[in-house]
Structure 1
Amino acid sequence: MSVTVDAAPRRPLVRWLVFATVVLAMLMHAIDQTSVATALSAMQADLGASLAWMGWTITIYSVGQILILPFAGPLGDRFGARRVYLVAVAAFTLMSVLCGLSSGTVELIIGRFLQGLAGGVLLPVATAIVSAEFGPDRDRAIALFSTAFPIGAVLGPLAGGLILTFASWREIFFVNVPVGILLVCLGRALIRETPRAAMGGVDLVGVGWLTALLLSGMIAITRIGSFGEGWTGPASVVVAGAVALVAGRFLLRHLHRHPDPIIPPRLLTGHSLGVMNVMNVLFGAAVIGFSALLPHYAQIRYGMSPIASGGLLTVRAVFMIVVSAVAVGLLRRLGHRPLLLAGMAAITVALVLIALPPVHSGPEVWLSLGAAVMGLGMGFASPSSANAGMHLVPEQAAAVSGLRVLFRQAGAIVAVSLVTAASSAAADPAAANTVAFLALAVVMGGAGALAMRIPNQRGRW
């Protein structure tokens, strides 16, 4: 978004109230994103759905965020960040009600998709609001603002576990309602409108082909578990897979022909970015897939409670936050490649530990160890991987950052869809999940091999 005009300064208390308001909105988004992972088993039992389709409650949320990203900035420029922010918060709250009231899997999946759309709008417009409010101090304010997601990663699994311990999975969504109403009221009272600009063109055709590719691919993967249903199972996989191939082909052709495509082709393969993009797909499959699947795995293999299984993600998040601070301090001295390789090695070890049976300890301690090693690896790999892509084309850092999110979420969508489909079809879902974590370790090893080909960069860029 293009918010470059500084608004007239206001009293520090008001500015920080505005800051707290938008941070609370991002926390609501982040906590909802991570807490749902703890409720997969509960939702599956209550709605009577297969795990393969219940996994869509996680993946479809990511699809919504991916698809709305190209629109979020232009919408804020055209209608004003304040107005778009208020609509997004209200829509997120309303969709939370729809999710909580869902009587079937289809309703829940639709609600989660619409929630993902609203959540995907929040980040760019909230960033624009903070930038306009703090003027010359925007760099520090935005840096502080970016801590909302790590904090949400700590609180979300605990919140989901606590809610499931004392209530049902529906309250995970209903708890957003009073928070959302409060945020709309505070936003209307405190947030000023940002300067508006002409709305740039949005590649609607590209978004359409990307939507078709993601949804058909997810359907094809999900239907793999239906091979025992006669000819309709394999036929549905073939049809959905064919649609995905056609959509992918037309998307690539469109990207090379459109003057301002949703994904610039030069950022797909040029300047070693092709290696980075493939690495990000594999990284997202292993790391985000781990986060989405670990609570369910702990519950079905070891019978852990929702609060204990959700706490594993909190352990991971705490280690990630602490180690990230160390990694940021080492980036200029060592460059990003050594830190990236060290982080990926630790992530691979963590995935293997999670898959192995506990050694001289109970499952809670053993899985906590694996989660801690995963957090350590993510702490080294996340800051370094962000720099690894952006330093290649620093003049297009924002676009590269957006692509990193897109490719990682795409990898996560494939991983979660495959694992939930395989678990749903398996006679022993716990054993299937165990094999899945070992497979993710192999995927992470492949990402590490690609990372060795990325040019290193020390110092400033």
Structure 2
Amino acid sequence: MESSGAPQQIAEPAADEPLAHRRVVFGIVSIALLMASIDQTIVATALNAIRGDLNAELTWSGWTITIYALGQIIVMPLAGRLGDQFGRRRIFLGAAVLFTVASLLCSLADNIYLLVVFRGLQAIGGGAFMPTATGIVSEQFGRDRDRAIGMFTSIFPIGGILGPIIGGIIVTYWSWREIFIVNVPIGVLLIVLGLRFIPRSVPQRAARVDGVGAVLLGLTILFGMYGITLLGGNGATPADPFFIGAEVIAIVLGVLFVRHANRRAAPFIPISLLRGRGFGAMNAINFLFGAAVLGFGALVPLYAESRYGIQPLQAGTLLTARAVGMICVAGLAVFALRRTGYRTPMIGGFVLVAAGMTVMSVAPHGLTPYAWLALAAGITGIGMGLSIPASNNASLQLAPAQISAIAGLRGMFRQSGGIVAVSITTALLAHAQNGGLAQANSFVVFAVVLLLILPLTLFVPDHRGSW
């Protein structure tokens, strides 16, 4: 413990020992995750305000969430690879600069299409935060990296608490544009602290980035979601030639992507991380979890406003109730992982989240609508706090040497599920006579999706008592 004198601040800790300045670095990368989390929940709260101010259809307003998730899908695996190749600090700080500038541009957009484009740029920066932050923290914490990475679970709900409150206040007393301005001073602070405190990491062996694979995957998802947007926003039917054309193009591009990944030595998404031992089950779990939980979270404020007439400020705090429930459990779940293993908290958490969604879908009993929805949101938060630390670490355990790439893939599958859920739900709501009731039914569907995950957890290595 007393290592006075000799220089010790080197990039790689001997014998997997944690570095002395690890807590400062953890705090800095947590600012980035907090900023991304705040931005996501703020936009969910301001969806109605954006829709009204820019004269946008509901489906295109939903694209402010969809394009952000799409950008993260592409960037997360790419950022992990680039961080390994060029240094995680460099990629992390570049992401912070792009996120900050794009936030400023979002605040200046004067139509929904321009806003969607700027949100896409913002997503490129935000998507690089998680994989690079995971790699940076893993370097700093050594053998304690499982607990440090698990603690990221508590960062997002803090943003979930701050985002809806800040967003609700801003939308109520100013306008939706200021929700993006909030990111600018936080981003500047992040860049300054990162330059000062995050150590340079030694680049690992160079691996050529698979740009063709990244483009094919991105276009596959883009055309698929565009077709769904046409179905929801322009009165198109499944027989509409534009809808059919978009979906056919998506299928063709998807087939080309799979063929390309199978033939390339170093594909954008390594096949071994898609269907190898344990990865197939975890990828399916992350996709379905993202569809249910990210889709649900993005639409809760809209649901409260459209079904019960709750004001934006109050509607936003429903996500705060969920975040509080998550924080109350997440810290304890992180430190219990080595004792409980991964399967038990995942199963218990998924069941609780499904129960909360079901409660939210039904009419209030003995409580005001707001109190009923807050209770339901709190139950989902407890379930998320129980399940997310385990699911975050389960795939990392399968290949600890590829932590950045795996963290990127995990985010990619969750965001893919979220994109599908938000796009399909907003398309259905655009045609529903009673939007609030239709959304309540969608929550029941999300709950069923979560229950379908339970058998998949049996294929996840449990690692009880070990790291």
Name the TM-score, length of structure 1 as normaliser: 0.88
Deviation of the 1:223 alpha carbon: 1.4
Which among 322, 341, 348 is matched to residue 316 of structure 1? 322
Describe the shift of the 1:150–1:444 C-alpha distance in structure 2 as closer, same or farther (beyond 3 A).
same
Instruction: Supply the AA of the counterpart residue of 1:221.
Output: I
Deviation of the 1:96 alpha carbon: 0.9
Is residue 85–residue 203 contact of structure 2 (8 Å, CA) maintained in 1?
yes
Which residue in the other structure is 2:6 paired with? none
Q: For this pair of structures, how many residues does the alignment match?
A: 453
Deviation of the 1:55 alpha carbon: 0.9
Deviation of the 1:153 alpha carbon: 2.2
Which among 149, 160, 184 is matched to residue 153 of structure 1? 160
Deviation of the 1:370 alpha carbon: 0.6
Deviation of the 1:291 alpha carbon: 0.9
Which residue in the other structure is 1:292 paired with? 298
Which residue in the other structure is 2:111 paired with? 104
Work out which structure has the larger RCO, using CA pairs closer than 8 Å and 6 or more positions apart in sequence.
2
Which residue in the other structure is 1:451 paired with? 457
Counterpart check, 1:32 vs 2:39: yes
Instruction: Supply the AA of the counterpart residue of 1:459.
Output: G
Whole-angstrom CA distance in 1 between matches of 2:465 and 2:64: 42
CA deviation map 1:275-300 (0-9, x unaligned): 33222211111111111111111111
Is residue 73–residue 413 contact of structure 2 (8 Å, CA) maintained in 1?
no
Corresponding residue SS for 2:366 = coil
Which among 355, 360, 367 is matched to residue 373 of structure 2? 367
Q: How does 1:161-310 map to 2 (within 5 A)?
A: 161-188=168-195, 193-196=200-203, 199-226=206-233, 228=235, 234-310=240-316
Corresponding residue SS for 1:263 = coil
Is residue 227–residue 234 contact of structure 1 (8 Å, CA) maintained in 2?
no
* More moved, 341-350 vs 102-111: 341-350
Name the TM-score, length of structure 2 as normaliser: 0.87
Deviation of the 1:272 alpha carbon: 4.3
Which residue in the other structure is 2:17 paired with? none
Whole-angstrom CA distance in 1 between matches of 2:406 and 2:89: 26
Gaps of 5+ in 2: 1-9, 15-19
Once the two structures are aligned, what percentage of the paired residues are identical? Answer: 44
Whole-angstrom CA distance in 2 between matches of 1:246 and 1:197: 35
Describe the shift of the 1:230–1:290 C-alpha distance in structure 2 as closer, same or farther (beyond 3 A).
closer
Instruction: Supply the AA of the counterpart residue of 1:72.
Output: A
Q: How does 1:24-173 map to 2 (within 5 A)?
A: 24-76=31-83, 79-126=86-133, 139=145, 147-173=154-180
* More moved, 291-300 vs 336-345: 336-345
Describe the shift of the 1:252–1:352 C-alpha distance in structure 2 as closer, same or farther (beyond 3 A).
same
Whole-angstrom CA distance in 2 between matches of 1:416 and 1:256: 30
Counterpart check, 1:343 vs 2:334: no
Counterpart check, 1:434 vs 2:435: no
Is residue 276–residue 389 contact of structure 1 (8 Å, CA) maintained in 2?
yes
CA deviation map 1:307-331 (0-9, x unaligned): 2111111111121122123333443
Deviation of the 1:20 alpha carbon: 4.5
Deviation of the 1:129 alpha carbon: 5.5
Whole-angstrom CA distance in 2 between matches of 1:433 and 1:373: 19
CA RMSD of superposed structures (Å): 3.0
Corresponding residue SS for 1:432 = helix
Whole-angstrom CA distance in 1 between matches of 2:220 and 2:234: 22
Instruction: Supply the AA of the counterpart residue of 1:156.
Output: G
Deviation of the 1:457 alpha carbon: 4.2
Is residue 76–residue 411 contact of structure 2 (8 Å, CA) maintained in 1?
no
CA deviation map 1:95-130 (0-9, x unaligned): 111111111111011111100101122334445566
Deviation of the 1:40 alpha carbon: 0.5
Is residue 95–residue 112 contact of structure 1 (8 Å, CA) maintained in 2?
yes
Corresponding residue SS for 2:332 = helix
Is residue 285–residue 413 contact of structure 1 (8 Å, CA) maintained in 2?
yes
Corresponding residue SS for 2:277 = helix
Gaps of 5+ in 1: none
Instruction: Supply the AA of the counterpart residue of 2:376.
Output: G
Whole-angstrom CA distance in 1 between matches of 2:412 and 2:27: 28
Describe the shift of the 1:82–1:310 C-alpha distance in structure 2 as closer, same or farther (beyond 3 A).
same
